[in-house]
Chains A and B, each alone.
Chain A
Amino acid sequence: MSETNIPVTAEIKFNIQVGDELTQNVKPLLHEIKHALDNLIETGRSTIIDLRSIPLAPGEEDKILDTLGRGEVLAQLNALGLSEVIETQYAGVWLVTHYNDEDHIISRFIEVTTMPEILCSQTEDIMAAYSRLTLDLDENQETN
């Protein structure tokens, strides 16, 4: 039998119930965000929460993201694959998701801050940009 003649019927069905809050970690995490926001208001200190460090059942991360919702800002970075920076509906609470070249999530953070660090231009990159721009202008001058 050739490979193309093999009858293949695949039905992928996860046997997980996502309706229940299995790990009970959703509410405590949302309260942690609330405390971090309070801390930002009172002291100006930022907080980063690594969503991959907390055991979450299938569907629980979505519940957290649904609760936080989406706000006014959506930024996309192209740095070793895509990165998405979203301000949630709660100003000061950002969702930072890093993807690899194949668009798979490699890390996801909730940052409670006025501006996630990854959005800021970095000193080393600014220095390299200055050198590059200087070279480009010199070359232009020579050709003109």
Chain B
Amino acid sequence: MTDRNNNKDKTPYDKTLGETLRSRGISRRSFLKFCAATASMMAMSPAMIPKIAHALESARRPSVIWLSFQECTGCTESLTRAHTATIESLIFDSISLDYHHTLQAAAGHAAEEAREIAMKENFGKYLLVVDGSIPMDNPGYSTIAGISNYDMLMETAKGAAAIIAVGTCATYGGIPHADPNPTGAVSVGDLIKDKPIINVPGCPPIPVVITGVLTHFLTFGSIPELDHIGRPKVFYGQSIHDRCYRRPFYDKGLFAETFDDEGAKKGWCLYKLGCKGPTTYNACATTKWNDGTSFPIEAGHPCLGCSEPDFWDGGGFYKALSMPTENITQTAIYTAAGAAAAGVALGAMNRSKKNKAITAHDNTTIDDLEK
């Protein structure tokens, strides 16, 4: 009736995800609940739930090697301290995390040996997750077990089936890359050109976005559809602005001018307070943070644009994207009237300003903060 005894001789890598979950006493009904939540977080149609269940049940447990370079461990914190334990940890526990120097018990030679064994046993099949940027000026700026970040990345990437760059540091250089970039920090994509790379930016990324990418790989055995800078479209396909519940205020030309004026109290649009929502692509406005409680704009703070390249050098967090030269209210009214071209032009104008600010390295000053 069942083939449960046939699993005795299987190694952890041979077991399917379904077998792993069942061996932990997780019922099929619980698994269906997990799949429903997974479909929701991956912005898939609920009609996909049975397909996700079938694909995940038969997926092999993958080996994952996680390398951390110039980073603050915020990305790992985001994932491991997530409140939605039954979703993130279920998928996180179902992979074979063979190397992660913050989480693993092994240290020193034993830790490095674990990485080497995982690479050898799963050559061509393991997933490589990287957080943090790589210093290129001097290899001594960041080393692990005496191995430079560059050498460890290039050695480990050789046998990877795919690479997931987690966090804005690994994807675009992040804060270490910010002007004047003292360590010569570069991203994973700057160094590796012959492997599929999935960029999952954010400072940190939303935890379900990290596990969502892992789940997609397990479910479909392929990498998700990516945008022009390597981000999965399912999570980064729409701007914060387009999915923001405050968007109707923008369309009506109603803006908070300061953090304590009437507009702020009424929850009006934060565009004039420097919100980078119009040029930022991420899932914060729908997936939200802290178990779907809220996101920065809902808490009354403008979006910093942390999932975009060079967000730290974008011209000041509290400086409006097009404030100096444009009448935002008028532009917003044009957009509200259905003039899509005005919206496109505004986006282009904002991107252009951001690029100029990056070039000129427009520092954020106390005046900006007090605006």
Identify the A interface with B (CB < 8 A).
15-17, 22-24, 48-50, 52-53, 55-58, 60, 77, 79-81, 83, 96, 98, 100-102, 104-107, 109, 117-118, 121-125, 127-128, 130-131
Distance from A109 Cβ to chain B, minimum over Cβ atoms (Å) = 6
Q: Is B245 an interface position by the 8 A CB rule?
A: yes
Interface SS of chain B: helix
Q: Is B30 an interface position by the 8 A CB rule?
A: yes
- Which residues of chain A come closer than 8 Å to B222, judged between CB atoms? none
- Which residues of chain A come closer than 8 Å to B85, judged between CB atoms? 100-102
Point out the residue from A15, A104, A125, A127 that lies within 8 Å of B29, measured CB to CB: A125
Binary contact readout B66-103 vs A (1 if CB under 8 angstroms, 0 otherwise): 00000000000000000111110010000000000000
Q: Is B197 an interface position by the 8 A CB rule?
A: no
- Which residues of chain B come closer than 8 Å to A131, judged between CB atoms? 1-2
Q: Is B227 an interface position by the 8 A CB rule?
A: no
Point out the residue from B30, B292, B300 that lies within 8 Å of A52, measured CB to CB: B292
Q: Is B40 an interface position by the 8 A CB rule?
A: yes
Distance from A130 Cβ to chain B, minimum over Cβ atoms (Å) = 7
Distance from A36 Cβ to chain B, minimum over Cβ atoms (Å) = 12
- Which residues of chain B come closer than 8 Å to A104, judged between CB atoms? 83-84, 291-292
Q: How many A-B residue pairs have CB under 8 A?
A: 118
Chain B residues bordering chain A, tally (CB within 8 A) = 45
- Chain B, Cβ-Cβ closest to A123: B28
Distance from B11 Cβ to chain A, minimum over Cβ atoms (Å) = 23
Complex Cα distance, B144 from A84, in Å, reads 48
Distance from A59 Cβ to chain B, minimum over Cβ atoms (Å) = 10
- Which residues of chain A come closer than 8 Å to B26, judged between CB atoms? 80
3 closest pairs, A vs B, by CB?
Answer: A48-B46, A122-B28, A57-B245
B29 touches A79 (CB 8 A): yes
Complex Cα distance, B33 from A96, in Å, reads 10
- Which residues of chain A come closer than 8 Å to B292, judged between CB atoms? 52, 104-106
Q: Is B285 an interface position by the 8 A CB rule?
A: yes
Complex Cα distance, B43 from A107, in Å, reads 11
- Chain A, Cβ-Cβ closest to B39: A50
Complex Cα distance, B84 from A26, in Å, reads 27
Complex Cα distance, B87 from A141, in Å, reads 41
Complex Cα distance, B4 from A131, in Å, reads 11
Task: Given A98-B36, A107-B36, A118-B29, output 9 extra A-B contacts at Cβ < 8 Å.
Answer: A23-B247, A52-B287, A55-B243, A79-B29, A80-B30, A102-B83, A106-B84, A124-B27, A124-B28
- Which residues of chain A come closer than 8 Å to B265, judged between CB atoms? 15
Selected A-B contacts with CB under 8 Å, 7 pairs: A24-B248, A53-B40, A80-B33, A80-B34, A100-B84, A121-B29, A125-B28
**Which of B40, B41, B243 has the most chain A CB atoms inside 10 A of its CB?**
B40
- Which residues of chain B come closer than 8 Å to A55, judged between CB atoms? 243-245, 247, 285-286
B33 touches A109 (CB 8 A): no
B267 touches A16 (CB 8 A): yes
Distance from B103 Cβ to chain A, minimum over Cβ atoms (Å) = 20
A106 touches B37 (CB 8 A): yes
- Chain B, Cβ-Cβ closest to A53: B43
Binary contact readout B276-295 vs A (1 if CB under 8 angstroms, 0 otherwise): 00000000011100011000
A106 touches B87 (CB 8 A): yes
- Chain A, Cβ-Cβ closest to B87: A106
A80 touches B90 (CB 8 A): yes
Task: Please judge, given known A-B contacts A49-B46, A131-B2, whether A17 and B267 are in contact too, CB under 8 Å.
Answer: yes
Q: Is B264 an interface position by the 8 A CB rule?
A: yes
B2 touches A100 (CB 8 A): no
B46 touches A15 (CB 8 A): no
A130 touches B1 (CB 8 A): yes
B32 touches A118 (CB 8 A): yes
- Which residues of chain A come closer than 8 Å to B247, judged between CB atoms? 23, 55
